[in-house]
């Protein structure tokens, strides 16, 4: 019997994904009935089909299709560890993943949704598991982590095979421990979250503490 996702995946052929310079989100061309975009990244876009809502289809840009096999291999190494999505199959330019409900930590900040400490602990446990598998838990940021029934669900593992050290999670964890109490329960304006994100990505400051001093000074000035 043909898998439920198989027919839904055929609709991806009507969609074309193009990557953009400067690590900007991909551009999507085309449309297909029953298919909706549920996420956009710098290498791929993610879709869900109304006929197979339990699945998410990660469709890569043409110049990024080499990452399909790499990411599928990583999911195979991670197995069914509970804080990651499940990868069921792949095509030439897409992965078939489990659809995960929840709110990204990015949107939690925008909407004033409480982020429990258990989420931070879950990500720490997941990182340790990834290291034990000989991989490197890179690219952990607010848009790649879901709040799902009070626990964490990590969405993107495509860079776990890259050895280069990524300290973003350590900085996010420190920000949660030292400053989240000031924001908890408050909706943070989009412009502020985006400003801090862009500053961080382009920051030449020597330390996290120096960066946070600049952010707090800016917020105080804006009040």
pLDDT at position 198 is 74
Which CATH number is associated with domain 4-98?
Answer: 3.30.200.20
Break the chain into its structural domains and give their ranges. Answer: 4-98, 103-222
pLDDT at res. 216: 58
The answer to whether residues 104 and 46 touch, using CB atoms and an 8 Å cutoff, is no
DSSP 26-41: PEEE---TTEEEEEE-
Tell me: pLDDT of 145 over 60: yes
Strands 52-60 and 94-98: antiparallel
pTM of the model: 0.86
Dist. CA 99–CA 85, nearest whole Å:
8
Q: Do 104 and 143 meet the contact criterion of CB atoms below 8 Å apart? A: yes
Judge whether 161 and 119 are in contact, CB under 8 Å.
no
Give residue 104's pLDDT band: very low, low, confident or very high (50, 70, 90): very high
Higher per-residue confidence, 108 vs 163: 108
Give me the mean pLDDT over the 197-215 stretch.
63
CA atoms within 13 Å, Cβ hemisphere of 127: 19
Measuring CA to CA, which residue among 99, 14, 89 is closest to residue 50? 99
103-222 has the same fold as 4-98: no
Tell me the pLDDT band of 5, cut-offs 50, 70 and 90.
Answer: confident
Given a cut of 90, whether residue 221 has pLDDT beyond it is no
Which tens digits make up the pLDDT trace of 30-77? 989 899 999 999 999 999 999 999 999 999 999 999 999 999 999 999
In the chain, pLDDT over 70 holds for what percent of residues?
88
Mean pLDDT of 185-191: 89
Q: How does residue 155 score in pLDDT terms, banded at 50, 70 and 90?
A: very high
Residue 204 clears pLDDT 60, i.e. is over it:
no
Contact 84, 75 (CB under 8 A): yes
CATH topology of domain 103-222: Transferase(Phosphotransferase); domain 1 (1.10.510)
């Amino acid at each position: 019997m043909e898998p439920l996702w198989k027919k839904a995946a055929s609709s991806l052929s009507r969609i074309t994904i193009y990557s953009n310079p400067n690590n900007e989100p991909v551009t999507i061309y085309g449309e297909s009935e029953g298919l909706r975009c549920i996420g956009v990244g710098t290498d791929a876009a993610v879709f869900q089909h109304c006929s197979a809502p339990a699945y998410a289809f990660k469709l890569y840009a043409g110049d990024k299709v080499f990452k399909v096999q790499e990411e599928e291999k990583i999911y195979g190494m991670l197995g069914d560890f509970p804080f990651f999505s499940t990868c069921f199959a792949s095509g030439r330019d897409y992965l078939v993943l489990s659809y995960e409900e929840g709110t990204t930590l990015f949107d939690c900040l925008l909407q004033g949704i409480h982020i429990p400490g258990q989420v931070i602990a879950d990500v720490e446990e997941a990182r340790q598991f990834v290291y034990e598998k000989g991989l490197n838990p890179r690219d952990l940021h607010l848009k790649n982590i879901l709040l799902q029934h009070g626990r964490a669900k990590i969405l993107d593992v495509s860079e776990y095979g890259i050895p280069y050290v990524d300290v973003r999670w350590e900085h996010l964890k420190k920000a949660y421990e030292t400053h989240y109490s000031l924001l908890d329960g408050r909706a943070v304006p989009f412009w502020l979250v985006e400003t801090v994100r862009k500053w961080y990505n382009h920051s030449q400051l020597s330390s996290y503490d120096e960066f946070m001093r600049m952010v707090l000074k800016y917020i105080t000035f804006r009040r």
